Structure 1
Amino acid sequence: MSGSRRRVVATPQQQRRSIIGTGAVLIALSGPGQTAGFSVFVDPLTENLDVSRGQLTLAYLLGTLAASTTGTWLGRVIDRRGVAKVVPGVALGLCLATVLAAVSTHLVMLTVAIFGLRSFGQTGMPLAASVFVAKNVAHRRGAALGLLTALGGSTIALTPFIAARVIPRIGWQATWILEGVVVVLMGLVMVGVIRRLRLEHPHADEQEIVDGSVAKDEPRHLRRNGFLVVTFGYATTGFVSTALAFHQIAVLGERGLSAAAAATNFLPQSFASALVALVVGRLVDRVPGRIVVPFSMLTLMVAVLSLTFVNSAVGAVGFGIALGSAAATMAASEGALLARWIGRETLGTWRGRMTSVMVISTAVAPFVFSLLADWAGSYTSAARLVVVLPVVSGVVAIVTPLPCDRHRA
């Protein structure tokens, strides 16, 4: 009897599931660096550091803006070295940031920690996950990225849910440190999965056929146009959805809802986001890329304008569903569009740049929207003003020359 072990070769479908599952876990590990994950530590931080919520918000804004540079250089590193070699560093960076946040004794120290949380949490892990899936899934890429968006968005919500229940037992500082340890351990497990199944660019020949002509045949200015159109749409969606979500309790309060009723509106938003991401991901594989961004902007415009008609809990649920759907439409399609129009070879670099722009837009959105509300007299009036952004973005996407769609997967 032979003592050698037979190597089990995964089927394409098994490999596809492994790729998407690995990406979803990486996004889940970004939880400590996401706004939802940070939110459960706001009250302990204000009490421990003896600072106001306004001061803490300013520190969060500055740390997030500083972290906006991370996507640009990290995307290039992912292209050169691969996700398996980048994830350990990102996980360690996020872990150190949670430890620093836990032991912070003043606001400057916390701002540095927030920079780490946002650099490696909000940017690093999701960037690695999306690029990993987009580069390694050639067939029905949109459906894969849609599923990744749905799973990833759902798992991020687990971080505050779990942390809120652990904090009363072991304290907020120990909870933050525990989150960092879990990120490192699970990150290393995912690296092992990637290496064991050889998931870094498993279809090299197929990638050359699918993407080679994109990089060589398409004029450079058309590929640049494709990047700018997707980035403009992605940043617009991030700005508008973040502004409305951040101020949602106040926004719906103007429409007659109680704070409790407004808070529960996040549930239909999350459900709609997951469902729409699955549907849109599949549609992106079947429709011309040119119509995707205008359709996303139309969805966003409808979501913003629907706020005007909210006068009951049912109307608020409709607004939440519309807003969640609008955010998911762009999130589920941007990765597939970039891969289609630019190619996968330098996808990390281009998506990293787009992520940097998106981070800036989401960082300033709550502050700018608040200023607009003060100037316009109400949040509803401010919403009518920001609807100009998706209109402009949609028109730009329609009139801009873009690469052809002959490489649609």
Structure 2
Amino acid sequence: MKALEGVRVLDFTHAISGPTCTGMLALLGAEVIKVEKPGVGDSLRSYTEHAGPPLMSTPFGAVNNGKRSIVADLKHPAAREVLLQMAETVDIVVENFRPGVLKRLGYGPDVLRARNPRLIYASITGFGQTGSLRNWGAYDHIVQAMSGLAMLNAAVDGPKMIGIPLIDAFSGYVGVMAILASLQKRHVTGEGETIDVAMLDSALRLMNTNVSTYFWTGVAPKSMANRGFRLVATSEFYQTRDGWIALGANHQDQIKAFLDVVGHPEILDDPRFATHKLRVENYDALKAWLTDFFLTQSAEELEPRLAAAKVPVSRIRDIEQIASHPHFQERALFHEAEIPGSDKPLVAVGPGFLLESGPIEPGPVPRLGESTDAVLGELGIAPDEIARLREEGAFG
């Protein structure tokens, strides 16, 4: 039995943040009914410039596998009545339209929770349901810019965005945490909940150590480039003769172990480098020595030697190099998800944790609207009525 087996979700999400949230709920066993726009569906279906067959982009499949897809015109009165009826039968509604959009269409939390008081209604937006920024549009890189993350990631030629939709994804996981907490609260009280997740709030939560440091000091933290969080030269990235290496020798025992492995224990006898405080104060000098030293070394040879000595270390890999690592076969992180109509499966990443009870495997990627008839039929709507609703344009 999966953790969320028996939990039903009505999914009004699109793009990445919302589908990441509902995708994790599906992976954990919830039945997720994804409502999509007639003709085109979730816009993420068409991001095939990355990869994937028509209307089945790999980004879409990655966050929507295991869901059921129905096609409905949210503006159609007949579709609205059926979807409101459906909301009475589910535990959770998730949406990530701009604030007020679903309310204007008649699907706001006040309407749905009046019909289903146990309902958990989660909204994920760029800037939240309240505040002066609530109506601003948002994409991941826009929130990276506004939140300070891009500046914290700056290089000498200016601010840099993180190269993945990090805030989109993290906001989705924040939504999952809020939903699971609300399910537990409902288990005790019997009451539903309305959840307001903002990408900007989530970004600040992600950077909370930096934010708290600012409030304490009154000084905005600056980009450390590749410098580690403890600000010592023995904890950052270095170029070697066969690629790059990440070193994480933060503490005295780690630094001693590192220097012993590389054959330079005398560095700790230097009065400039004897303690952590001194190593921070004399960062430039130690950095210069390490830069020259690593250029003479092999990252491939050093990595296993340092790891064996309990020194945090890694060669700097790309996705191809890490995805083929045997570690993930041993942990069963990757699973194949069926793409209907394609002989090639989607390789999907698991939830990021293991359970003693067994693996958590993804379901197939849904065709656009493939479950419309089945889901409406489960509501007791007869086949001829479904056909009529489709002819009227309420459903696809």
Instruction: Give TM-score scaled by structure 2 length.
Output: 0.26
Structure showing the higher strand proportion among its residues: 2
User: 1 or 2 for the larger relative contact order (CA 8 Å, sep ≥6)?
Assistant: 1
Compare CA radii of gyration and give the structure with the larger one.
2
